[in-house]
């Protein structure tokens, strides 16, 4: 299985569990995603060049952005989606507390 197929399976699963309120993300989400993509573009090539992380080249699509495989940028997308999703899900379970007298 290639990294792209694995990433697409995670993306499909993520989309299935997204609440309707996340269908039109706020501006803050887009800014966060942009920041994560920039950080990925800056630090992933360094991590790869230092051989901290290595990929099987036969499982990569072969597209690179700033020296990082395009599949690495999916992780930035997941982080920008999963953190608000978990935050939202955990917040649903909390009941507002009444005032104590």
Using CA atoms, how far apart are residues 26 and 3, in angstroms rounded to an integer? Answer: 29
Using CA atoms, how far apart are residues 69 and 20, in angstroms rounded to an integer? Answer: 31
Residue 20: both structure tokens together: 């309707």
Q: Where are the domains of the chain?
A: 3-15+25-91
48-89 pLDDT, tens digit per residue, is 999 998 888 888 888 888 888 888 888 888 888 888 888 877
95: confidence class by pLDDT, cuts 50, 70, 90: low
Residue-level pLDDT at 86: 80
pTM over 0.75: no
Q: Are 80 and 29 in contact (CB under 8 A)?
A: yes
Using CA atoms, how far apart are residues 59 and 71, in angstroms rounded to an integer? Answer: 10
Residue-level pLDDT at 94: 65
């Amino acid at each position: 299985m290639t990294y792209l197929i694995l990433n697409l399976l995670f993306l499909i699963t993520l989309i299935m569990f997204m609440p309707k309120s996340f269908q039109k993300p706020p501006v803050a989400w887009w800014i966060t995603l942009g920041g994560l993509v920039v950080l990925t573009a800056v630090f992933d090539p360094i991590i790869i060049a230092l051989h901290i992380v290595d990929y099987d080249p036969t499982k990569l699509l072969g597209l690179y952005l700033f020296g990082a495989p395009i599949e690495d940028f999916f992780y930035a997308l997941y982080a920008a989606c999963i953190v608000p999703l978990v935050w939202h899900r955990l917040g649903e379970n909390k009941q507002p507390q009444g005032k104590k007298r």
